[in-house]
Amino acid sequence: MSLIGRHLIDPNDLTLEETQQIIDLGLKIYKNPADYADVCKGKILGTLFYEPSTRTRLSFESAMLRLGGTILGFSDANTSAVKKGESIADTIRVLDDYADILVMRHPREGAPKLASQYSTVSLINGGDGGHQHPTQTLTDLITIQNYKGKLENLKVAFCGDLLFGRTVHSLLKSLSRYPNMSFILISPPELKIPYHLKDEILHNHNVEIIETNSLETYMPEIDILYMTRIQKERFFNEEEYVKLKDSFILSRDKLENAKKDMLVLHPLPRVNEISYDVDLDPRGKYFEQAKLGVYVRMALISLLLGVIEPC
C-alpha cells in the first residue's frame, strides 16, 4: 500500500515493509543529502505543537527545509486558538488548508488520532502525552539499522522510567514485531512497563522479556542499551522524584563488561542518567541517533507527500 497521504499516529500503523522503506530511504538520503535538496519545493510543513518540544519540532523543521520545503506553525498552545475554546476538529479543518503535511504534538493522549480523522493532508503524531511517538521510534530503528545492519535477533535492554516513557512504549511495540527479539526491562518496581503493554507484547509476539531492577546483571549480553530519563513532570511529589532519579545511571565503568559493539541509545534530552564520560565511549551513539532522526523524517515526509518513489 502506498504511503502517500497516509497518517502516522502509532508506529504500528506501518507494516514492517513500510517501516523498512522509510528506513532505507532515510539512510540513502543520509549518504547523499544533496540529491534531495529540492524534492519538496513548494510544499509546506505545518508544525502544530500544543506542548513545547524543541528537539522534535526543530528536527522536523530541519528535515523539511533540507528537502527544499517551507515551514509554518506554532510551538506553544498559548499562541493558538485553543484558548478561545475551539475543538481540535475545527482547528485541523482550517490548518489542513494552510499546509501540505502536518505534525502534531499534544499533551493529551489520542489527540493526534482524533485530529487525523479531520485532516485532508497527512498528519504525523509528534508525541501525545505518555502514549506514542512514532518518529522517535523510526529514529531509534534507523540508528539500529545503521550501526547493527539489522533489526532482528537482538537483545535490547530498556532502562529508566518504563511506566510513563512513551518512547519506550513505542519502540517496544515496534521491535516486538521483528523475529527473535529479547527484551531486558530495567527499572525501579514503581516504574515498570504497564501491564497492558507487557501483555500485548507477550501474547502477540514470539519475544522474551526479563524484568529486573539491576542495570548491571545482564550487561554482558546486551546488544542495545536504551536509556531513558526519569521525567520530573511525571512524578506527583518531589521526594519520590529525588529518591528515584539517580537509581539508574549509566557511567563508563559500568560499560566494562558490555559487548564491544553494544549501542547505547537515548531519546534525549538526558539529565544525568548517562554520565558525561560515556559520551567519550564509542558505544554511546545518542547524538548520532539524534542526527539520524532528521534523515528518517526527511524520508517519511517525502514518502507521505509522494515526492519520491520508495527505494
247 binds its own copies (CB under 8 A): no
Would you state the cell numbers that stand for residue 183, as one nine-digit string? 527484551
Exposed/middle/buried for 292, CB within 10 Å: 0-12, 13-18, 19+? buried
* Contacts to its own copies from residues 31-50, by CB under 8 A: 37, 42, 44, 46, 49
Q: How many CB atoms lie within 10 A of CB 251?
A: 12
Q: Which of 21, 59, 137, 302 contacts its own copies by CB under 8 A? A: 59
Catalytic-labelled residue, pool 131, 133, 173, 270: 133
Among 88, 48, 46, smallest CA distance to 69 is for 46
Part of the chain binding its own copies (CB under 8 A), chosen from 10-18, 102-110, 132-140, 265-273: 265-273
Task: Let me know: does 47 contact 61? Beta carbons within 8 Å.
Answer: yes
Catalytic-labelled residue, pool 105, 106, 113, 131: 105
Strands 182-186 and 101-106: unpaired
Residue 84 a catalytic site member: yes
Q: Where are the beta strands (DSSP E) in the chain?
A: 44-49, 70-74, 101-106, 122-128, 155-159, 182-186, 208-212, 224-227, 263-265
Q: Which of 25, 294, 305, 308 contacts its own copies by CB under 8 A? A: 294
Question: What one-letter code names the amino acid at 216?
Answer: E
The answer to whether 205 is a known ligand-binding residue is no
72 binds its own copies (CB under 8 A): yes
Residues 6 or more apart in contact with residue 23 via CB below 8 angstroms: 138, 141, 142, 145, 296, 299
242 binds its own copies (CB under 8 A): no
Residue 108 a catalytic site member: no
Phi/psi of residue 162, nearest 5 degrees: -95, -5
Residue 105 a catalytic site member: yes
Task: Return d(Cα 105, Cα 56) in angstroms, integer.
Answer: 9
81 binds its own copies (CB under 8 A): yes
Residue 297 a catalytic site member: no
254 binds its own copies (CB under 8 A): no
Q: Which is nearer to its own copies, 211 or 288 (CB)?
A: 288
285 binds its own copies (CB under 8 A): no
Strands 263-265 and 224-227: parallel
Task: Return d(Cα 241, Cα 10) in angstroms, integer.
Answer: 29
Residues 6 or more apart in contact with residue 256 via CB below 8 angstroms: none
Residues 6 or more apart in contact with residue 279 via CB below 8 angstroms: 287
107 binds its own copies (CB under 8 A): no
Shortest gap between Cβ of 267 and its own copies (angstroms)? 11
* Contacts to its own copies from residues 119-178, by CB under 8 A: none
Q: Which is nearer to its own copies, 85 or 189 (CB)?
A: 85
20 binds its own copies (CB under 8 A): no
Residue 169 a catalytic site member: no
Binding site as annotated, residues for L-aspartate: 84, 166, 229
Contacts with its own copies by CB under 8 A lie at 37, 42, 44, 46, 49, 52-55, 57-59, 61-62, 65-66, 68, 70-76, 78-81, 83-86, 90-91, 93-95, 97-99, 229, 231-232, 268-271, 287, 290-291, 294
Binding site as annotated, residues for carbamoyl phosphate: 55-56, 105, 133, 136, 268-269
**Active-site residue list:** 55-56, 84, 105, 133
Binding site as annotated, residues: 55-56, 84, 105, 133, 136, 166, 229, 268-269
